[in-house]
Chain A
């Protein structure tokens, strides 16, 4: 019940295209859903996050869509660029959960010219 399932495992997108990464969860106590971006040789870094009281959050080219009833959320990268090539992790944490994050398994994104 603590798992966050993430797909796809890897993704290749052409420059200018839309990258979509999906996550699903079971634990209804989760109430904060961040996405982390990791470049090779670096630690993961917080990219964007959403709470379940909104269905969408947009920051620049990055958008999180959230479907509370389906217990699913996704990351959309619009106008994907080669510099977006990285590994993306979805995560979730419950309210009062002591800041502990449950991470998805990661998606390796490659944006080709």
Chain B
């Protein structure tokens, strides 16, 4: 398996622009997680899905952030409008319900908002 795939790997955008991050989980995994990592706040869980349904979005910082999972093999995290404080590395991870705690992370998307 190719592992969790994220795109783009790097994104530089101007404040106010819309940003869309993409994730393809490992085939057969029924959980998908979006995290944000910064030096100041560490690794933060933003939202997670089970069988394509959002379960907990309490970590989404504000209404500018939204996430969707239209099918088992694709998810997006959208920021609209983006702000400089959104600059971070965003990770997608997936796991299988039968193996709680074993999450497989993608390589991340480094977002820079100027």
Contacts and interface: CB of A to CB of B under 8 A. Distances in A.
Contacts of A105: 42
B49 to A, nearest CB: 10
Contact of B100 (A42, A44, A45, A99): A99
Contacts of B42: 103, 105-106
Interface string A75-100: 00000000000000101110101111
A45 B105 CA distance: 7
A101 interface: yes
Interface residues of B, number: 23
A33 B101 CA distance: 8
Interface of A: 32-34, 41-46, 49, 89, 91-93, 95, 97-101, 103, 105-106
Given A95-B100, A99-B95, A99-B101, 18 more contacts: A43-B93, A44-B43, A46-B102, A46-B104, A49-B101, A91-B101, A93-B101, A97-B100, A98-B48, A99-B31, A99-B50, A99-B100, A99-B103, A100-B56, A101-B103, A103-B43, A103-B45, A105-B42
Query: Lowest 8 A-B CB distances belong to which pairs?
Result: A43-B105, A32-B101, A93-B101, A99-B31, A99-B100, A34-B101, A105-B42, A99-B95
